[in-house]
Amino acid sequence: MTETTRSVEIHVPVLARVEGEGALDLVIENGNITRLRLRIFEPPRFFEKFLEGHHYSEIPDLVARICGICPVAYQVTAAQALEQLYGVELTPWARALRRALYCGEWLQSHSLHVHLLAAPDYFGCNSAIELAQIAPDVVRRGLRLQALGNELMDLIGTRSVHPVGVRVGGFHAAPPVARVRELRVRLLTALSEAEALVRWAAAIPLPPDEQAFVSVAMRHAHDYAIEAGDIAASDGLQIGADAYDAHFAERHEPHSTALYSSYRGQPYLVGPLARLNLNHDRLPSQLCSLLVETGFALPSRNVFHSLVARAVEIWLALDEAARLLADYTLPDAPWVPVEPRAGVATGCTEAPRGLLWHRYQMDADGRVVNARIVPPTSQNQARIEADLQQSLLAFGLDRPDEALRLHCEKVIRNYDPCISCATHFLRLNVERT
Amino acid sequence: MTRLRILGIGSPSGDDQAGWWVIDALEDMGFSNRHGIELDRLDRPGAVLVSRLEHAAWVVLVDAMASGAIPGTIRHFDRTDWRGYDGGLSSHGLGVFAALELAEAMGSLPPRLDLYGIEIGAAGHSSGITPAVREAARALAIRLAGPIR
């Protein structure tokens, strides 16, 4: 056993290959970690405050602007919450299209993260450009899959960046049948590429790093939960979205503009690995067979398996979107009428990075009185810090500073943090004399 | 193999549509997707741009730029202008130069590549259109039309 007695201070002033502005401070004194802080200093964006007074019909498009990578997650969650409050039952056509749209977002977000942000860490590369030099076909395949996700979002949401197709009650318009059929053929064709991706990801020698943590993700009666379902935890919890506050808490920490979330006072994991840990029994049999072949066993306690989990969900998203669009026809109407009423709307969906929860207090005219949005990255923030503590001890604190820094960055990037989403409304106290 | 692919890059915000206006102007002149020529408008493509550089002998990219020049200024960039990008890819931050670097690393650059920037004015959500930028887009379309007629 190595005796570690040195003192080290490592500061990563700006984290690369994550979305948004964050930093890490690590202090090791006499072989012990005495300070470890994932600092999120991106300025708060006050989105929840902006929403106050806005009409329900504007909310899906407003909240989509919170994130350029997962706008669908925000708009679908908002629409779902408001539809539940207003007693709106989506048509089967709209339900299928919502889920297919969401598949497009998973596809593009996961493909981007796997190939351009996370994978370079496991091949000794400093950037995606270096990875592209040594594995051009892998990156090219990833970009093709990402492009398919963008096309799916463009088809259903009318554009791939900040789509505008979703409305409370359904969609503003129906995509043309010919375009749906043409894209569906390409989704099916791409399944072989996704299969190769899963095999490639499962073969990457990821660091062995077993940790104890609670997984939190949605769970549906028969589907792999994406846009519908209860909130579940690996300790047996299963609740509706409206009970979230009774089990989960948020708090401020001085070093972060993102809120920290806890479940029963402890950090927890959300995201693709948490989803697979809770829902692997909902995967299609073909995908289960593929996982058996690759030796990827679930549930997993190694968060580095998140990269493999994303690859698995890419296959799932392709397959699911193709299934949902199989018998696509134009509907009588793409939306159903909505009658606003006063009350509290809560909803949740599985954003690419994990559970996304919304709560809106609405007045009788359909305007927002107040809003709360809990994004996945703020839920993962405490877990990232806990992971870093454990992972660094397993990695060895006696390693050179540069190796420690790289390992910390690898741990953080593995969560695919979206810091811009996570920055939150800060309480502002003004004293006037 | 496509002989020439002209890609207008932009977004729906104000003058950021400059690249799209070049495609509009070419279509107004009678050009369309035939005879080995492809015209397309890309909405903030990020890394997807890489795949749009493949299977073409010549690709022309037109994007809005904000360099401090007078709105409507047209600039041609060659490879010395975009080489040297040194990492730091974020999920939102993959711009045109970074995508070109990525394409080069994979050997996906076309035999001939031209990148034009059109200096823009405002590109906010409800920004109006700067007449000089619209005119520059037409002028660039006329310049591009010459060799492809």
CATH of segment(s) A47-382 = 1.10.645.10
Taking only the tens of pLDDT, chain A with its 433 residues reads: 344 456 777 777 666 666 666 778 888 888 888 888 887 766 667 888 999 999 999 999 999 988 888 999 999 999 999 999 999 999 999 999 999 999 999 999 999 999 998 999 999 998 888 999 999 999 999 999 999 999 999 999 998 888 999 999 999 999 999 999 999 999 999 999 999 999 999 999 999 999 999 999 999 999 999 999 999 999 999 999 999 999 999 888 777 777 889 999 999 999 999 999 999 999 999 999 999 999 999 999 999 999 999 999 999 999 999 999 999 999 999 999 999 999 999 999 999 999 999 999 999 999 999 999 999 988 998 999 999 999 999 998 888 888 888 888 899 889 988 766 655 432 222 232 2
Q: Which residues 6+ apart lie within 8 Å of A315 measured at CB?
A: A191, A194, A195, A197, A198, A287, A290
- Cβ within 8 Å, pair B107-A126: no
Domain of B91 in residue numbering reads as: 4-148
CB A215 within 8 A of CB A340: no
Domain boundaries, chain A: 47-382
The whole-angstrom distance between A91's CA and the closest CA on chain B is 30
Q: What is the pLDDT of residue A88?
A: 97
In chain B, residues with a C-beta closer than 8 Å to the C-beta of A130 are: 105
- Residue A21 CB-density burial (10 A; 0-12 exposed, 13-18 middle, 19+ buried): middle
| C-alpha to C-alpha distance for B126 and A292, rounded to whole angstroms | 53
- Cβ within 8 Å, pair B87-A140: no
Taking only the tens of pLDDT, chain B with its 149 residues reads: 889 999 999 988 889 999 999 999 999 999 888 878 999 999 888 888 998 999 999 999 999 988 889 999 999 988 777 765 444 445 556 788 888 989 999 999 999 999 999 999 877 766 678 999 999 999 999 999 987 77
Q: Which amino acid is at A134?
A: I
- Residue A212 CB-density burial (10 A; 0-12 exposed, 13-18 middle, 19+ buried): exposed
Q: What is the pLDDT of residue A12?
A: 72
Pairing state between β B112-119 and B58-65: parallel
Closest CB to B89: pick one of A17, A69, A143.
A17
Interface check for B11 against chain A (CB to CB < 8 A): the answer is yes
The whole-angstrom distance between A246's CA and the closest CA on chain B is 34
Interface check for B83 against chain A (CB to CB < 8 A): the answer is no
The whole-angstrom distance between B27's CA and the closest CA on chain A is 21
Residues found in chain B: 149
| C-alpha to C-alpha distance for A10 and A397, rounded to whole angstroms | 12
Interface check for B120 against chain A (CB to CB < 8 A): the answer is no
Q: Which residues 6+ apart lie within 8 Å of B99 measured at CB?
A: B45, B46, B47, B49, B50
Where are the strands (E) in A188-329, listed by range? 216-219, 230-233, 238-239, 248-251, 260-263
In chain B, residues with a C-beta closer than 8 Å to the C-beta of A147 are: 48, 51
Q: What is the pLDDT of residue A422?
A: 58
In chain A, residues with a C-beta closer than 8 Å to the C-beta of B108 are: 136, 140
Closest CB to B106: pick one of A16, A136, A146.
A136
Domain total of chain B: 1
What SS3 class is residue A6?
coil
Complex ipTM more than 0.90, yes or no: no
Closest CB to A132: pick one of B11, B45, B106.
B106
φ, ψ for residue A375 (rounded to 5)? -85, 165
CATH number of the domain that B90 lies in?
3.40.50.1450
- Cβ within 8 Å, pair B48-A150: yes
| C-alpha to C-alpha distance for A377 and A391, rounded to whole angstroms | 19
φ, ψ for residue A224 (rounded to 5)? -75, 115
Interface check for B57 against chain A (CB to CB < 8 A): the answer is no
| Token representation of residue A324 | 């949902």
CB A379 within 8 A of CB A81: no
| C-alpha to C-alpha distance for A249 and A226, rounded to whole angstroms | 23
Secondary structure of B23-89 as H, E, C letters? HHHHHHCCCCCCCCEEEEEEECCHHHHHHHHCCECEEEEEEEECCCCCCCCEEEECHHHHCCCCCCC
Between residues 14 and 53 of chain B, which touch chain A (CB distance below 8 Å)?
43-48, 50-51
In chain A, residues with a C-beta closer than 8 Å to the C-beta of B11 are: 161
CB A60 within 8 A of CB A301: no
